[in-house]
Structure 1
Amino acid sequence: MLRVEFERHLNSVLKPENFKDYAPNGLQVEGKDNIQRVVTGVTACQALIDAAIDYQADAIVVHHGYFWKNEDPRVVGMKYRRLSSLIKQDINLFGYHLPLDAHPVLGNNAGMADAIGLSDRVGLQTGASIEQSIGIVGELGVALSAEDFGLLVEKAVGRNILFEQGHDRPIKRVALCTGGAQGYIEQAVDAQADVFITGEVSEQTIHIAREMGIHFIAAGHHATERFGAQSIARLLTSEWGLDAVFIDIDSPA
């Protein structure tokens, strides 16, 4: 598949034009014209690039790419080494940040919601459609105790979680926003959720959960944002006929 066609297809699926983002979405580093072998991952770190080189990939598709707002624009040090590796091997780099959080089927939030079995989904942001909301609110099929729900989330992300219990009621209505979205906890309260799941925690988040009576779970930024890159790899393989694989470069954060 030609690179221009590959990007056009990805953009038509993920619709980056709908988002005001913190980094450019789409092609970030240009490589070879034709793409057949693709690696997807969470973050375009050096380890993922090295794995893509070993895989003889023509392109990498990630959630966390490069050229973030307010970063140092100089191509030196770590940035030079990463870019140099891509350019020397003629590998294309595509990054999709908020579009890969929000997609209602392929996105990180949708994948997390699938993994814990949420139905009747709506957007977390007031007035936003589920296609453009960065978070999701949904319902469990049956109410669960805090202990059972914690085990469900740990199974979904494959790691231990931080669980601050804010009340003693069963859990039925769930709000989630993967990654570093702990600041959305009050929106989860407004949505009348019993629990809010995200990736990271700040010191004040715990106090908000306790005082506003909502359970809070920090399940890992990386762990909660593997879903989108995994979904993209499956899409590229099953529907586009490309040789695509998700490679997980784990992070405890």
Structure 2
Amino acid sequence: MTDRQDLQTALDTLLQPERFKDYCPNGLQVEGGNTVRKIVSGVTASLALIDAAIAEGADTILVHHGLFWRGHDGRVTGWMRQRLGRLLEHNINLFAYHLPLDALAGLGNNAQLGQKLGLQTSAWFGEQQLGCMGEADFSGAQALAQHVESVLGRSVVLVPGRAAPLRRVAWCTGGAQSYFEAAIAAGADAFITGEISEPQAHLARETGVAYLACGHHATERYGAPAVAAHIAAQLGLEHQFIDIDNPA
């Protein structure tokens, strides 16, 4: 076991949240007990994850999507009251890291997705250098889509671009559709992310760069457990990953 401050220091040292301009507070979002024995990791601090962590006897939760975001009005009512109330009732610490967890080399969301897909990062691009680029060898966009589907276990939305082999694949997990233009400018043949908005389909067709929307949750479910397992081993803690399925 360890104490909460030592855990926070270890997480902040690894993830370096001060480097990022983010949309949320990174680090400890809800203070629970001082003693930490078991971390549950997950993608989002949903009520389902919180209740599952309680059932598993966790005293700490580590997620990518926390409770507090820029633009929320701050009232503790409805779903916010439910989630926060359960954390406080059971004295559970909630740690959340957004962009720092995306960007972390080796263990972060982008690095872990690349590893799962067999893509090795050779360059970074986009705002705050969050996007990854790697060499690839796929016969075309459909072959890449089939590979991604087999790895993630879900269908993807594909806008195929030009009919040609893919040699440079770019990716950025979650809702990173705004990074598509930067991926095109960086020389990508295809771009993998979680979501697609209306403009990206036109850009893919007009530029010939394939676009794959593979699910926000599906592309971001690897970073939190990788970081939590690393920190738990470092501090002698128990760790459990709980995946609350999400079709988005």
Q: Identify the TM-score tier after normalising by the shorter chain.
A: over 0.9
1:115 aligns with 2:116: yes
In the alignment, the residues of structure 2 paired with residue 225 and residue 207 of structure 1 have an alpha-carbon distance, to the nearest angstrom, of 25
Shift of 1:156: 2.4
Paired residues of 2:141 and 2:161 also in contact (CA < 8 A): no
Shift of 1:172: 1.5
The match for 1:129 is none
The match for 2:3 is 2
Shift of 1:119: 2.6
1:20 aligns with 2:21: yes
1:242 aligns with 2:200: no
Shift of 1:230: 2.1
Provide the TM-score with structure 2 as the length reference: 0.96
Q: Which runs of 5+ in 1 are unaligned?
A: 127-131
Structure-to-structure mapping, 1:169-208, within 5 angstroms: 169-208=164-203
Shift of 1:159: 0.8
In the alignment, the residues of structure 2 paired with residue 120 and residue 226 of structure 1 have an alpha-carbon distance, to the nearest angstrom, of 19
The match for 1:30 is 31
Paired residues of 2:168 and 2:190 also in contact (CA < 8 A): yes
Structure-to-structure mapping, 1:147-186, within 5 angstroms: 147-186=142-181
One-letter identity of the residue aligned with 1:238:
A
Name the structure, 1 or 2, with higher relative contact order (CA <8 Å, separation 6+): 2
Q: Secondary structure at the match of 2:236?
A: coil
One-letter identity of the residue aligned with 2:105:
P
Structure-to-structure mapping, 1:53-92, within 5 angstroms: 53-92=54-93
Residues matched between the structures, number:
247
Quickly say closer, same or farther: Cα 1:235–1:47, change in 2 above 3 A.
same
Paired residues of 1:112 and 1:156 also in contact (CA < 8 A): no
Paired residues of 1:209 and 1:215 also in contact (CA < 8 A): yes
Post-superposition Cα deviations, 1:216-251, rounded to whole Å, max 9, x if no partner, equal 000000000001112123213433321101100011
Post-superposition Cα deviations, 1:145-167, rounded to whole Å, max 9, x if no partner, equal 32321121112222111111010
1:219 aligns with 2:220: no
In the alignment, the residues of structure 2 paired with residue 146 and residue 202 of structure 1 have an alpha-carbon distance, to the nearest angstrom, of 19
Percentage identity across aligned positions? 49
The match for 2:125 is 124
One-letter identity of the residue aligned with 2:130:
I
Q: Which runs of 5+ in 2 are unaligned?
A: none
Aligned-pair RMSD on alpha carbons?
1.2
Q: Secondary structure at the match of 1:248?
A: coil
Q: Which runs of 4+ in 1 moved over 6 A?
A: none
* 2:130 aligned residue (128, 134, 156): 134
